[in-house]
Structure 1
Amino acid sequence: MASVTLQGNPVSVQGDLPAVGSQAPDFRLTGQDLSDVKLADFAGKKLILNIYPSVDTGTCAASTRQFNERMNDRDDVVVLCVSQDLPFAFARFCGAEGLDNIKTASTFRSSAFLDSYGVKIADGPLAGLCARAVVAIDEQGKVVYNQLVAEIADEPDYEAALSALS
């Protein structure tokens, strides 16, 4: 079990992120149009999973905007923002913000993603939600970078994630 903080207070996170060099675990999430989103949908593409508690918080919204902006010049990478937000919340947020360089997916139909990616917050006020993490996956489906952000209220290391996919 990993430990992070939320505004300085310790929070436990169940499991571990997929190890660098390992095959990325398969997943089944739900897209904005309520269709299934699977790892296989990104076969042959570089993929960044931007994982967080909720797009309706300041830091999560900021990371969604940041990755969207950074994708203006990167058509070789797909960013998939993942949380337990309903697809309707993602659609509302991305529509209002004009974000079209990223994709979103929800864990609301299946919590298996939280377990297989080791991002389930185990205690504290956000228990049951996704911890803030980034996982970069290459075209062969191998994990090339991972980061469990030590303070949930902090943004991830965008440059390190993108550099891992250069």
Structure 2
Amino acid sequence: MQQTKLQGVSIGLSGNELKLGDKAPEVSLVAADLSEVKVGGGTGKAQVIIAVPSLDTDVCATETRKFNERAASIKNTEVFVVSMDLPFAAGRFCSTEGIKNLRTLSDFRDKEFARAYGVLVADGALAGLTCRAVFVVDTAGKIAYKQITDDIVDEPDYDAALNAAAFASGSVATQS
């Protein structure tokens, strides 16, 4: 079982453990307007899929704002923030924060994303939520980058994720 930490205490994660090069599972999530949005799979665009426990926490809000600002410059890339928050709350967060360069999606219905990507917190205070993770899916639908933060309270490595997204999208021709 994969693990992460919550304020230094180990917690288990359940679901499939994805590795670099694996096919990114295609799953359906719920947008703020209650429409269904698919993430994963090969779409011809790179995808940055960011899992957060809840947009209603300082670290998650900061992370979403930073990805909103920084990922907008990467061509041929879609950016999604996935949480268990209700779609209405996610929509309100985006309106309040001026989030326009990414989509917030909810996995509240059946936790399909959390299980498929192996980021469902299995025990501890946050059981049933997603841990903090970033996946970059290349244009062909393969996992090109993965980070599950060492501790859920830590922000991810933005530079590594965004560099991986630039390569995965074809915005950067070769990696040195």
TM surpasses 0.5:
yes
Separation (CA, whole Å) in 2 of partners of 1:14 and 1:54: 18
Corresponding residue for 1:139? 139
Structure 1 residue runs of 4 or more that deviate by more than 4 Å after TM superposition: none
Does structure 2 retain, via aligned residues, the 8 Å contact 1:17–1:148?
no
**TM-align CA RMSD:** 1.5
Separation (CA, whole Å) in 1 of partners of 2:118 and 2:135: 11
Corresponding residue for 2:21? 21
Indicate the percent of aligned positions where both proteins have the same amino acid.
Answer: 45
1:4-52 deviation line (CA, Å, top 9, x unaligned): 1111111111135421111101101101110111137971111000101
Corresponding residue for 2:170? none
Corresponding residue for 2:174? none
Separation (CA, whole Å) in 2 of partners of 1:96 and 1:17: 34
Task: Compute the displacement of 1:76 (Å).
Answer: 2.5
1:35 aligns with 2:35: yes
Identify which range, 135-144 or 70-79, moves more after superposition: 70-79
Separation (CA, whole Å) in 1 of partners of 2:96 and 2:139: 31
Does structure 2 retain, via aligned residues, the 8 Å contact 1:2–1:16?
no
Q: Cα 1:10–1:52, aligned 2, differ >3 Å: closer, same or farther?
A: same
Q: Which runs of 5 or more residues in structure 2 are unaligned? A: 168-176
Compute the TM-score of the two structures, normalised by the length of structure 2.
Answer: 0.89
1:60-99 superposed matches below 5 A: 60-99=60-99
Q: Which runs of 5 or more residues in structure 1 are unaligned? A: none
Separation (CA, whole Å) in 1 of partners of 2:73 and 2:38: 25
Compute the TM-score of the two structures, normalised by the length of structure 1.
Answer: 0.94
Does structure 2 retain, via aligned residues, the 8 Å contact 1:6–1:153?
yes
Q: Cα 1:42–1:95, aligned 2, differ >3 Å: closer, same or farther?
A: farther
